[in-house]
Structure 1
Amino acid sequence: MFIELSEMGSAVIVDPAMRKLQQEGEAELYFVIFKNNVKSLNILNTIPAGNIFTMDPGNFYTLLKDIIRFIAWCRAKKITTVIDLELFSRFTALLSFFSGALHRIGFASYHDEGLYRANLINRPVRYNAHVHIAVNFVSLVNKALDRYSTPYATPPVSKDELKLTQAAVESKALTAVQEKIRNLYPAWNGEAIVLLNANASDLLPQRRWPQENFAAAARELLASFHNVLIIATGAAAEKEYVQQVVNKVGHEKCVNSAGIFLFEELVPLYTLSTCMLTNDSGPAHFASVTPLKIFVLFGPETPALYGPLGNAEPFYLGLPCSPCVSAANHRKTSCTDRPCITGIQPAWVSARLRQYLTEKGASVRQYPDQVLFPQFPGSRIFINE
């Protein structure tokens, strides 16, 4: 049983590790997650619906009731091993203990700084803050497979072990999404679709690239290409925020789709699109199960640890203060200026996107060659390298 309550992106990143355990350990997989995040498990359907336990964190009483249900559920399912994916969460460590499982695997600080979780986790794995989280997840699975006996994850993890399975997309789902695109922009006739995901989780608003920067990059693309349609995406609750970006773009070929596409329609939308520009947030990971080219803006966190596993390319300045949030500081920062994210210039971003779209055959308008691709001075880290 895997426990990952609050991170939708991590529910995708852990998929290669889960499949490894399923195949090499012949294990039946279960998963525990908050109910408002459970849709992230439906993207690849690695976990059968009947093996998913959801918890409601709405208030103390609903959470307490679900903890009691959880204890009974674990015993009914005869859970033998728990893998806690959370970074030093005492709550999930308690859930692991309450599960009654004989083997409770999770991250431990060991000689490093970090939250003490006593023997609630009885098969600890030292969390390595210098390797990608996907590598850490595979190391937890290697512990479950008895590939090493100490808290130090010595077995190497190959690139092949980090490859995400591609999501299956039905033709009727593609047709439904195409119809919604035409409803948003009736003149759409197969033009290249560029997605903008301008929002990010309220848990870490420092990750948001400014609205005016998204708008400036979008205007550059629309001024450069004849056959590009920009679709700004988001949840229904983000509609007003997304509309502000669209208004700043001020072009008929930039439309607001917040709340239009169901979560289940995101993968078909990503499949139909050419590329996406996004903050460091869930959609970057959801899109990784498709061939979509993903350009991700990183600020207070680093792509070296949390970069999407798909066809992703980050924009990351790598300032001396970066990254400023980590498992060791509970992902908290007091920085309000945010030069790590605001310092990424729209001209750098739009230039790279123009280059990519040109390579993909988009029709280019005329402009001086010498200003087409200004050099981005930051570090572009490719996660697969």
Structure 2
Amino acid sequence: MKVDTMRWVDHYVGVPLCLLLKLAFWPFDWIRKGQETVSSNVLFIELSEMGSAILADPSMRWLKGQGKTLHFVIFEKNAVSLHLLNTVDRDNICLIKPDNLFSLALSSLKFLIWCRKKKIDTVIDLELFSRFTAILTRLSGAGNRTGFDRVHEEGLYRGNHLTHPVMYNPHRHISRNFMTLVKASQNAPHQPYQKDGFDETIELARAEVNSDLRSSVVTKLKSLYSDFKPGIQRLVLVNPNASDLLPQRRWMKDRYVDVIQSLLAEYSDILVVITGAPAERPEAEMLRQQVDHERCLNTAGAFEFRELVPLYSISELMLSNDSGPPHFASVTELKTFVIFGPETPALYGALGNSTPIYAGLPCSPCVSAGNHRKTSCVDNQCLKVIESGQVLDALRPALDTGLIVKAD
């Protein structure tokens, strides 16, 4: 289904369903009020954002350290993001298929059966005010249900099905909001103002690099550029893409052309690698043709997802729009430079070795939990005011540090 269709269904179908479920379960909730449920089999729900699965990993590892068995439900196309760190066993991952309403309903029904087989007793809903995930949480059969609560906010209604409601804090990084949910899930039911904070530095685990896959990556690069010399020639990754969830995140292609051409002219030891999914290959090819340089490669669709960590491990840096790849790269040591516009790095910045490039206009960020990350802006000045020179000024110090040869 298209993103806007999913938003429409979530609102106009989800809100009345949440209300009906609230009324239907009211007698049972009243009888069980005050009863505590042991938390041992914990389910995380995060369907639509691959990057969020990475941002939630420190919270999941903390809970795993408490002796809990972790489970996860996610949209089928996003499941690969969970395999980067393998915090959750693959047998404990359930997939939802949102291709159409029929597949969505069928896979959701299978999910409810799966929850009973896995004896899920605790659900942590990581989604920001999704009615669909609220319904999944309610029907999961879990006695402990934790998620974000609107408290006194108008709108964002999703039925009050939580035993452990937590106020979403829009002034703290989303990874810390996730940690707050996890901590709340292990306490007795309380008011939404969670007091048990997490002051420690949140750090991501590092992914293991498979040597065979790294060799495969090098072989593919040599097939595209025969003169590639690993260890001598430095790789600069460029991700000019962003998901259809928020296309306003895409920096202008002509600015990418300017930056790439300038870097290739200044640094004779770099190879620019344009990355992306198979569906993004035509646009990546247009960008490569505009750059028109033998040391600029189009690899969109060339690498499998499992080859990304090996690719990142042999690369110098990445320039990217605000999208999934900087979060995937954060499980490695790769330096990333991320261009932000309608969202803010204060809430959604990658946890790794990442530098945000952000104008911070008065209208930014224009997307939030309260508007389902949808904006009507058709003139994204928040990105247009970021000039090529500003991005080059951010990249040059990182490239000069590992400089081997600089062009005249």
Work out the CA distance in 2 between the residues paired with 1:5 and 1:313: 27
1:165 matched to which residue of 2? 205
Could you tell me which amino acid in structure 2 is paired with residue 72 of structure 1? I
Q: Which of 96, 102, 107 is residue 66 of structure 1 equivalent to?
A: 107
Q: What is the match of residue 189 of structure 1? A: 229
What TM-score do the two structures reach when normalised by structure 1? Answer: 0.93
Flag the 1:311–1:114 CA change in 2: closer, same or farther, 3 A: farther
Per-residue deviation, 1:28:
0.1
- Mapped to 2, the partners of 1:184 and 1:113 lie a distance apart of 54
SS of residue matched to 1:314: strand
SS in 1 for 2:70: coil
Whether the aligned pair in 1 keeps the contact of 2:184 and 2:196 (CA below 8 Å) is: no
Map of 2:240 onto structure 1 = 198
Q: Does 1:328 align with 2:370?
A: yes
- The within-5 A match list for 1:195-234 is 195-234=237-276
* 1:354 aligned to which of 366, 382, 396: 396
Q: CA deviation at 1:215?
A: 0.9
Give the whole-Å Cα distance in 2 for the aligned partners of 1:45 and 1:292: 20
Counting only pairs closer than 5 Å after superposition, residues 15-54 of structure 1 correspond to structure 2 as 15-24=57-66, 26-54=67-95
Counterpart residue number, 1:13: 55
Match of 2:24 in 1: none
Aligned to 1:378: none
CA distance change for structure 1 residues 147 and 277 in 2, over 3 Å: closer, same or farther?
farther
1:125-172 deviation line (CA, Å, top 9, x unaligned): 000011100000000000012188331122232343x20000001211
Residue pairs, 1:237-252, within 5 angstroms? 237-252=279-294
Contact 1:147-1:155 within 8 A present in 2 as well = no
C-alpha separation in 2, matches of 1:45 and 1:159: 23
Identical positions, percent: 50
Q: CA deviation at 1:77?
A: 0.8
1:79/1:99 contact within 8 Å kept: yes
Alignment partner of 1:298 out of 332, 340, 354: 340
SS of corresponding position for 1:361: coil
User: Which amino acid is 2:229 matched to?
Assistant: N
What is the TM-score of this pair, normalised by structure 2? 0.87
Give yes or no for the alignment of 1:310 onto 2:349: no
RMSD, matched Cα: 1.2
CA distance in 2, matches of 1:340, 1:217: 18
Alignment of 1:58-137 (within 5 A): 58-137=99-178
Corresponding residue number in structure 2 for 1:383:
none
Residue 300 of structure 2 corresponds to: 258
| Residue aligning to 1:373 | none
Q: CA deviation at 1:342?
A: 1.5
1:345 maps to 2:387:
yes
2:327 aligns to what?
285
Aligned to 1:369: none
Conserved 8 A contact 1:82-1:103: yes
Amino acid corresponding to residue 68 of structure 2 in structure 1: A
Match of 1:289, SS state, is: coil
Point out the more displaced range, 52-61 or 272-281.
Answer: 52-61
Residue in structure 1 matched with residue 29 of structure 2 by the alignment: none
Task: Show the counterpart of 1:235.
Answer: 277
1:174 to 211, 214, 218: 214
Tell me by how many angstroms 1:70 deviates: 1.2
Encode CA deviations 1:209-250: one digit per residue, 9 max, x unaligned: 011111110011011011000000001100011111111111
Structure 1 Cα separation of the partners of residues 286 and 195 of structure 2:
49
Question: 1:228, 1:362 within 8 Å by CA — same for their partners in 2?
Answer: no
Give, in whole Å, the separation in 2 of the partners of 1:84 and 1:23. 20
Tell me how far 1:361 sits from its aligned partner. Answer: 2.2
* Aligned-partner Cα distance in 2 for 1:362–1:94: 56
Report if the CA contact (8 A) 2:330-2:353 is conserved. Answer: yes
1:193 aligns to what SS in structure 2? Answer: strand
- The equivalent residue for 1:377 is none
